[in-house]
Structure 1
């Protein structure tokens, strides 16, 4: 079995479990899938990839709140566009720091916050748990692949 098929199997199973978990906890299942996607697309792998994707997701949540709150201080639509331009610039510039270097993760966190109408209290746990599920999907799929492709002890006995 290829690693892709093994990861596909565990991703399918854990996606169903995530949907149930999100519903049971009152979380945003779609935001969790964004956290999962953020991990899968991360340039780093394993725990480092999870940490970087979660950190950038959280920074995106903060940046979105800055835009939402900053724009609400003025009764002019143009201010929201100016805030978005300035904050987007800083969302990219923060990538000079290695741990904040995954720009798509930052935008995923911000977009999730905008899509949830600023309900960061729901977005944050949804993104975090979704990222953890993404990590588990890949790690368990790779584990399954290793289990199914490892030579059995009887193969060694016959050599």
Structure 2
């Protein structure tokens, strides 16, 4: 359990700062947290930052495309068809390494839908959240180096 102290402290401190700052600045707090989680789910480090964030942002673009499609397609089932098409596209893009983290694309699209199609506020919160993920990983390793041995490969949070 001690191996998680560094990451736990860094995430706890940065989560408090993010919550206070995002609320004060009118940013979308929860979107930042899902991007932060995406960073770790995508493997952390430089790869997790790149693959997680790029997948998140691609999902926002796909969500935007659905919103644009719905401005002209008003027939029953239009939303279902559009979502089906972007779900396929989000899976197929995984053949391109920087967009290979499929869950990240779904998180990005869902975040865009969850913000009621607020494109730039969603993008901003995703970028900040990914940066906080990276920062918490760096700070967590530094804190862990001070308080005890670094986590083993098996104990590293995913």
TM-score, reference length from structure 2: 0.89
Counting only pairs closer than 5 Å after superposition, residues 5-154 of structure 1 correspond to structure 2 as: 5-43=5-43, 45-149=44-148
Q: Distance in 1 between matches of 2:98 and 2:121?
A: 24
Q: Distance in 2 between matches of 1:75 and 1:85?
A: 16
Shifted more, 84-93 versus 1-10: the winner is: 1-10
Which of these two proteins has the greater Rg computed from alpha carbons?
1
User: Is the CA contact 1:3–1:141 (under 8 Å) kept in the aligned structure 2?
Assistant: no
After superposing on structure 2, the runs of 4+ consecutive aligned residues of structure 1 that deviate more than 6 Å are: none
Q: Distance in 2 between matches of 1:22 and 1:112?
A: 16
Q: Distance in 2 between matches of 1:77 and 1:17?
A: 45
Q: Distance in 1 between matches of 2:91 and 2:106?
A: 9
Root mean square deviation of aligned Cα: 1.4
TM-score, reference length from structure 1: 0.88
Q: Distance in 2 between matches of 1:49 and 1:40?
A: 6
**Gapped runs of 5+ residues in structure 2?**
150-158
Specify the alignment match of 1:155 in structure 2.
Answer: none
Q: Distance in 2 between matches of 1:33 and 1:63?
A: 20
